[in-house]
Structure 1
Amino acid sequence: MKKLLPLLSILLVSGTAIADDAALQKCRALGEASARLRCYDAIPLTAGNPVASAAPAAAPVAANAAPTAATTAEQNFGIEQVKKKTEDEPKSIESTIVGTFDGWGPNSRIKLANGQVWRIVDGSDAVLTPMQNPKARIERNVFGTMFLHVEGTNNSAKVRRVQ
């Protein structure tokens, strides 16, 4: 019985291939390309194949297509959404840090005069001479990481905008 099961499955698959082969031969004989394409499209992919007809095939997801509500997280696993870089996106911004500033530490929040709040994310710290409203520049590197540069110091910190 154990040897019979694989033999039966081979016969089922072979029977499907033979049945589909006749349909393929019929389509191949057509001369007009559009008629031939319609003929190929009309061939049922699951006809006579009990394994393939048991579950409907999932629609393939294009690598650059945005996920829809119908797709699941499992179907989208490994597909990254590539953000297209726009030319008008600034590489840096400049502002001032509001009030007295004497440095930063890990997870410090820094509020700029333009209303943005940035958090130190790299665990660095810098103790500076207290400054009043120092100029600051947030700069994006090639990989998209943001860094805070404060006027009057050579230190910089990796930051992420929180507000």
Structure 2
Amino acid sequence: MRTLALLLLCASGAACAVDDALVLRCRALPDTASRLACYEALPVAPPAEQRFGGKRLEQKVDDEPAAIRSTVRGNVDGWRYGTQLTLANGQVWRVVDDVDAVLPELTDPAVRIERGALGAYYLQLEANNSAARVVRVK
């Protein structure tokens, strides 16, 4: 069943994280049961929110959201070029704006990261609308 879902997902135009070599290896197996087990062991693409902001500019992902919401772990009192912010969902984003922001200290502030033009991403603090251009590190 998982194999069918994976094949339908790939056929629908969604990004497939499966390496072609792995699929060819499974297809070459002569025994039906072992071929099915091989297909079911193939990795499945992570959810769209986890792929958000990943370095895949050459492949436009149709199901990637236009923005995500999360919280920054810990205290935030501002940022400058190079500051890294770790979100509650495990993603790490680095500020690439050359404008410093000095803010009142916030603990676990809510943020929104949205896609901009030409592959840019912008992180916005929901508490005071401060925003910075960011790139995803992890």
The number of equivalent residue pairs is 82
Cα deviation, 1:102-136, whole Å, max 9, x if unaligned, reads 11111101111111111111212111111111101
Which residue of 127, 131, 135 maps to 1:156?
A: 131
Larger Rg: 1
1:115 is matched with 90
2:61 is matched with 86
Identical pairs, percent: 46
2:19 is matched with none
CA distance in 1, matches of 2:96, 2:119: 14
Which residue of 119, 128, 138 maps to 1:144?
A: 119
How far is 1:84 from its partner?
Answer: 4.7
Distance 1:86 1:104, change over 3 A: same
Q: Aligned-residue CA RMSD in angstroms? A: 1.5
Which residue of 102, 113, 120 maps to 1:127?
A: 102
Query: Unpaired segments of 5 or more residues in structure 1?
Result: 1-81
Partner-residue secondary structure (3-state), 1:143:
helix
Structure 2 contact 72–86 (Cα < 8 Å) conserved? yes
Cα deviation, 1:69-91, whole Å, max 9, x if unaligned, reads xxxxxxxxxxxxx8353321111
1:106 is matched with 81
CA distance in 1, matches of 2:97, 2:104: 21
Distance 1:86 1:117, change over 3 A: closer
TM-score (norm 2): 0.55
CA distance in 2, matches of 1:84, 1:151: 30
Aligned amino acid, residue 95 of structure 1 = S
1:74 is matched with none
1:50 is matched with none
Aligned amino acid, residue 115 of structure 1 = G
CA distance in 1, matches of 2:93, 2:60: 22
Query: Unpaired segments of 5 or more residues in structure 2?
Result: 1-56
Structure 2 contact 82–96 (Cα < 8 Å) conserved? yes
